[in-house]
Copies of this chain bind each other. A is one copy, B any other.
Amino acid sequence: MNRPLAISRQDHILNALDAAGAVSVSLLAERLGVSRETIRRDLKALADQGRANLVHGGAARGTTAEPSLAARQAANARGKAAIGRKAASFVEDGTVVLLDSGSTTLALAYALVERKDITVLTNSLPIALLLCRSSGVKVTMLGGEIDPNDEAAFGIDTLAALEHFRVDLAFIGVGGISAEGELTDYSRLASEQRHRMMKAGKKVFLLVDHSKFERRTPVKMAIGSQIAALIVDKPPPKRIAQAFAARRWPVIQAKA
């Protein structure tokens, strides 16, 4: 029928490049409905103009260091990416997914970029921006007051917005895990909001990278619902592991 115009294709590629920093040939080919060879030729053309940078499997944008995003992700980036990929494997087509704010859930968002038939709900600005720029995912932002630290919305508006949605899977981060295995958070409000997010989801996954183990943050988190699993990048210390087992929380370890 009507192929998309070559020029709008390259346009789309540049956009995706701006948003994600890198694009893959296979993904673009699928998303744009053309063959991989065509995408390769597009990338070559863009590379000839100096607008893209060819790498194996796709193209990347020169030295685009994303601001604070990359900086925070730098802390245990590999582990978080592994958790993100693992978590993404639980997301089936056609589902509604709730993503909490935080660098670990952002890693999950990166892993969801290739998906198309899912709806993502989030209070995180970077996650919303990433997914709306470079994926076919439907994105709904939960509004509210922005916490500059988390770059995400919190507050009664966020809680109220949450009420309106049916969520299949909720992916929640945590501030820290005490030596006794208790989940903790930075503030009462954040804790309460995560609590509501858990209640909103039919299945709840906690994303915990190992830098959170035995990190103390001030507020105890209330766990109101069943936890489908914790996804971690390294096995937790014994005492924490025992606490998880006592609560019957399955622990899934992502491989790097």
> Is there an interface contact between B125 and A132, defined as CB atoms closer than 8 Å?
yes
Nearest to A165 among chain B residues (CB) is B157
Q: Complex formed: what's the CA distance from A58 to B4 in Å?
A: 10
In A1-17, which residues have CB < 8 Å from any B CB? 2-8, 11, 14-15
- CB < 8 Å neighbour of A132 from B21, B55, B131, B148: B148
A143-B143, A144-B141, A157-B164 are contacts. A57–B6 as well, Cβ < 8 Å?
Answer: yes
Among A143, A144, A157: residue with most chain B CB under 10 A: A143
> Is there an interface contact between A142 and B140, defined as CB atoms closer than 8 Å?
no
Q: Residues of A within 8 Å of B, CB-based: how many?
A: 56
> Is there an interface contact between A133 and B67, defined as CB atoms closer than 8 Å?
yes
Question: A217 at the A/B interface (Cβ < 8 Å)?
Answer: no
> Is there an interface contact between A11 and B66, defined as CB atoms closer than 8 Å?
yes
Q: What per-residue 1/0 map shows which CB atoms of A97-130 lie under 8 Å from chain B?
A: 0000000000000000000000000010110110
In A61-97, which residues have CB < 8 Å from any B CB? 64-68, 70-71
> Is there an interface contact between A151 and B125, defined as CB atoms closer than 8 Å?
no
CB distance from A7 to the nearest CB of B (A): 5
> Is there an interface contact between A129 and B151, defined as CB atoms closer than 8 Å?
yes
> Is there an interface contact between A55 and B15, defined as CB atoms closer than 8 Å?
no
Question: A48 at the A/B interface (Cβ < 8 Å)?
Answer: no
Task: Note all chain B residues with C-beta closer than 8 A to A27.
Answer: 2
Question: A231 at the A/B interface (Cβ < 8 Å)?
Answer: no
CB distance from A77 to the nearest CB of B (A): 16
CB distance from A87 to the nearest CB of B (A): 21
Question: A206 at the A/B interface (Cβ < 8 Å)?
Answer: no
Task: Note all chain B residues with C-beta closer than 8 A to A4.
Answer: 24
Q: What per-residue 1/0 map shows which CB atoms of A47-61 lie under 8 Å from chain B?
A: 000000001111010
- 11 pairs from A and B in contact (CB 8 Å cutoff): A3-B24, A5-B55, A6-B57, A11-B22, A129-B151, A132-B147, A140-B157, A143-B158, A143-B161, A157-B164, A161-B161
Interface residues, chain A, CB within 8 Å of chain B? 2-8, 11, 14-15, 18, 20-24, 26-27, 30, 55-58, 60, 64-68, 70-71, 123, 125-126, 128-129, 131-133, 138-148, 151, 153, 157-158, 161, 164
State the 8 A-B residue pairs at the shortest beta-carbon distance, nearest first.
Answer: A143-B143, A139-B146, A132-B148, A11-B66, A132-B146, A141-B143, A125-B129, A8-B22
